[in-house]
Amino acid sequence: MKELHNVNVAMRTLARELLESGTVAGVYGWKKGSRPTLTSPLYIQDAAKADRLAYDQYAVSNLSALLLDHRNNDKKRAIFVKGCDSRGVVRLLQDQQITPEQVLVIGLPCPGMVDEAGSLLTKCAECRFPNPVMADQVLGGVEVSKQPSAPTGVTAEAARKVGVGSRAGERMAQVAQLEGKTAAEKEAYWAEQHDKCIRCYACRNVCPACNCRDCIFDTEKKGWVSKAATSSANAFFAITRAMHVAGRCVDCGECERVCPMDIPIMTVNRKLQQDIEALFGPYDAGVDETVVPPLGRYQTDDPEEFL
């Protein structure tokens, strides 16, 4: 992507400098994969490898959850972020899994991510935060913004053309459609979806909000949850996962993207977002780490409709 040529050069130069000077112990970015349409995560600790860094419209992976590998390490790591990645970093900072001293955040302009066929991903069309919500420094002229905003930086025009954020207003459409169904229809719909689940836990592994030290789905507690991929155990897993990230989901859409069985995971996450906003007012998780998530705070005027 020609707009990103200079950004790529700058990324490599910066990574090399950071590693050579010892400012950081490692750098998270992306590299070109085995196919032209594949740009996958890369972690380098050696300045000589900085030239492998690459960033384009296929660099869809959210890198933030990878920082969890270093949560008990005092050394600093640099991470390149798009808008959605930066919200993941805020998630980890707010959940106190990493400290600001442990991470150097470098913001990038997002051109909008596309699939192999070249069409814009749904999550990018519905994106409200294409610019980094926080960054220690930026490349490619991108602007840091904690408000929903239009794409900025060198790829702003390209992003606008492919339609980044063009369907942000319809992001609850799938939820609304399901809400229109009867309870029996909804049950049947979700049973069909959950039956597909193979319990690979890719959704959990990629999620920056899934940052427990020991995931309950890995624990040995008998009777808590079955590891078998049966209908009821899958439903239990799906609902528990959704409840665990409720009010904390940063809306990056990675869980749904990585799901090999195409389960509409974001529909559940969005439904919870919608309900939480209805109860506690507007809230975007992973934008401002000083605002406590609605389900994690106690206020005397919290709604208590059940009392």
**Part of the chain binding other proteins (CB under 8 A), chosen from 15-23, 100-108, 195-203, 212-220:** 212-220
Nearer to other proteins, 174 or 205 (CB): 205
Please state, in angstroms and as integers, the Cα–Cα distance from residue 307 to each residue in 37, 132, 197, 276, 302, following that order.
54, 41, 37, 18, 12
Please state, in angstroms and as integers, the Cα–Cα distance from residue 207 to each residue in 86, 145, 151, 218, 257, following that order.
13, 22, 24, 16, 11
By rule CB under 8 A, what string of x and - marks binding of each residue 156-195 to other proteins?
----------------------------------------
The answer to whether 187 and 257 have CB atoms below 8 angstroms apart is: no
Q: Determine, following the binding rule CB under 8 A, whether residue 49 of this chain makes contact with other proteins.
A: no
**Part of the chain binding other proteins (CB under 8 A), chosen from 90-98, 136-144, 188-196, 254-262:** 90-98
Q: Determine, following the binding rule CB under 8 A, whether residue 223 of this chain makes contact with other proteins.
A: yes
Question: Strand 39-44 and strand 26-32: pairing?
Answer: antiparallel
What backbone phi and psi angles, to 5 degrees, belong to 83? -55, -50
**Part of the chain binding other proteins (CB under 8 A), chosen from 12-20, 51-59, 144-152, 290-298:** 290-298
What backbone phi and psi angles, to 5 degrees, belong to 287? -110, -50
Q: Determine, following the binding rule CB under 8 A, whether residue 290 of this chain makes contact with other proteins.
A: no
**Part of the chain binding other proteins (CB under 8 A), chosen from 57-65, 115-123, 217-225, 270-278:** 217-225
What residues form DSSP beta bridges with 226? none
Q: What is the DSSP letter of 79?
A: E
Which residues lie near other proteins (CB under 8 A)?
72, 95-97, 211-216, 219, 221, 223-224, 244-245, 248, 292-293, 295-298, 300
